[in-house]
């Protein structure tokens, strides 16, 4: 997968994308990141990317020209391949595991990190295929949201995570939160691990985990239980 990111803060990305699983995914050739400084697509000496809104009002808007130029430049580089252009902004559709999964099937995505009071509407109308928000709160810009989206998508690419089961049995798969987990020691400060997990009886353990996952989901996220089918290996 190729991921192009258009931003006014290009330096924000390396510390996140060049660590841990995102770094491993690049090393394994599963993903390639291209970070573009939006100001490189301006034509004035101040490298200006924003201006005041027509009709008045507070705040500044991102101008269409640099964004159009950046997207056109990127598309010209990947000749013929289909690209999905995604704008990160608080008005977008809220990111879910299902959306991450769908995006992980794309070969090429272009992420535009919104800023200021937003972007000129013509960017939405003509350039953007999808708008995504990472939650009902307002960030200072779309960069952190782009990183959240990238992380959630790249870990789903085949071969990025070692253990296939770690994808099958994680929160939101089958619309359930995860059951509780325990590791060594079996007794820690007078708190002991549930007996069943030490029993070696895999059928019983599986039943316990399913029950606990359901209990936890019912208590914390009953909204997820509307369609509840747990995936088997
Ligand atoms: N930009 C500002 N806030 C945002 C959010 N919640 N999601 C995506 N992009 C944003």
User: Using one digit for the tens of pLDDT, what is the confidence trace for 113-160?
Assistant: 999 889 999 999 999 999 999 999 999 999 999 999 999 999 999 999
Handedness of CA 117, 120, 125, 126 (dihedral sign): negative
**Residues near ligand 1 (Cβ within 6 A):** 88-90, 114, 133-135, 137-139, 141-142, 145
Domain that holds residue 213: 171-232
Atom 7 of ligand 1, nearest CA residue: 133
Q: Is the pLDDT of residue 78 over 70?
A: yes
Q: What is the mean pLDDT of the chain?
A: 94
- Max CA pair span of the chain: 71
DSSP label of 105: T
Task: Look up the CATH number of the domain holding residue 14.
Answer: 3.40.1280.10
Residues 217 and 109 in one domain: no
Residue 232 has pLDDT above 50, yes or no: no
R_g of the chain, CA atoms, integer Å? 22
CA of 39 to the centre of ligand 1 (A): 21
Looking at residue 165, its pLDDT comes to 52
Identify whether 203 is part of a domain: yes
**Do 143 and 177 have their domain in common?**
no
What is residue 162's predicted lDDT score, i.e. its pLDDT? 81
Q: Please report whether residue 134 resides in a domain.
A: yes
Q: Do residues 137 and 84 both lie within one domain?
A: yes
Examine the domain organization and report whether 202 and 132 are in the same domain. Answer: no
Tally of CB atoms within 10 A around 161: 17
Q: Is residue 123 part of a domain?
A: yes
pLDDT of residue 79: 85
Determine what percent of the chain falls in helix, strand and coil, rounding each to the nearest 5: 40, 20, 40
Percent of the chain surpassing pLDDT 90: 88
Extended beta strands in the chain, E state: 2-7, 32-37, 50-51, 61-62, 84-94, 108-113, 130-133, 187-188, 191-192
In a domain, 98, yes or no: yes
Q: What is the pLDDT of residue 110?
A: 98
Residue for token pair 């953007």 = 128
Does 163 or 129 have the greater pLDDT score? Answer: 129
Share of the chain above pLDDT 70, in %: 94
Q: Above 70 in pLDDT, residue 227? A: no
Which atom of ligand 1 is nearest the CA belonging to 134? 7
- At 170 the pLDDT is 79
pLDDT in the model for residue 81? 85
Q: Which of 154, 183, 210 marks a domain boundary?
A: 154
Q: What mean pLDDT do residues 76-100 have?
A: 95
Give residues with Cβ within 8 angstroms of 162, minimum separation 6: none
Q: Is the same domain home to 131 and 194?
A: no
For the stretch 166-213, pLDDT in tens is 676 677 877 899 999 999 999 999 999 999 999 999 999 999 999 999
79 in a structural domain? yes
Q: Name the residue with tokens 């990183």.
A: 147
Assess whether pLDDT exceeds 70 at residue 233.
no
Residue nearest to atom 9 of ligand 1 (CA): 89
- Is there a domain that residue 160 lies in? no
228: domain CATH number is: 1.10.1270.20
Q: Given the CA of residue 89, which atom of ligand 1 is nearest to it?
A: 9
Residue 213 lies inside a defined structural domain of this protein: yes
Q: Verify that 63 and 129 share a domain, yes or no.
A: yes
- Look at residue 80 in the predicted model and tell me its pLDDT: 82
Q: Which of 120, 154, 188 is the last residue of a domain?
A: 154
User: What's the pLDDT tens digit per position in 12-22?
Assistant: 999 999 999 99
Name the domain count of the chain: 2
Atom 5, ligand 1: which residue's CA is nearest?
A: 90
Same domain, yes or no, for 176 and 74?
no
Final residue of a domain: which of 154, 189, 224? 154
Ligand 1 atom at shortest distance from the alpha carbon of 115: 1
Q: Which two tokens stand for residue 86?
A: 């995604």
């Amino acid at each position: 997968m190729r991921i192009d990111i258009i931003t006014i803060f290009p330096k924000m990305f390396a510390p996140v994308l060049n660590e841990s699983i995102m770094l491993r995914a690049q090393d394994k050739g599963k993903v390639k990141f291209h970070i573009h400084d939006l100001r490189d697509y301006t034509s004035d000496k101040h490298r200006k990317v924003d201006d005041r809104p027509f009709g008045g009002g507070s705040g500044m808007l991102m101008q269409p020209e640099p964004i159009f130029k950046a997207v056109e430049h990127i598309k010209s580089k990947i000749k013929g391949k289909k690209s999905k252009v995604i704008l990160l902004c608080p008005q977008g559709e809220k990111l879910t595991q299902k959306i991450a999964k769908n995006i992980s099937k794309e070969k090429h995505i272009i992420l535009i990190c919104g800023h200021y009071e937003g972007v000129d509407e013509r960017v939405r109308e003509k350039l953007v295929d999808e708008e995504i928000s990472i939650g009902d709160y307002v960030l200072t810009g779309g960069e952190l949201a782009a990183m959240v989206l990238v992380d959630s998508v790249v870990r789903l690419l085949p071969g990025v995570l070692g253990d296939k089961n770690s994808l099958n049995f994680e929160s939101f798969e089958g619309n359930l939160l995860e059951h509780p987990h325990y590791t060594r020691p079996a007794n820690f400060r007078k708190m002991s691990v549930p007996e069943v997990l030490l029993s070696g009886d895999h059928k019983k353990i599986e039943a316990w985990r399913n029950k606990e996952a359901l209990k936890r989901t019912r208590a914390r996220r009953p909204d997820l239980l509307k369609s509840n089918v747990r995936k088997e290996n």
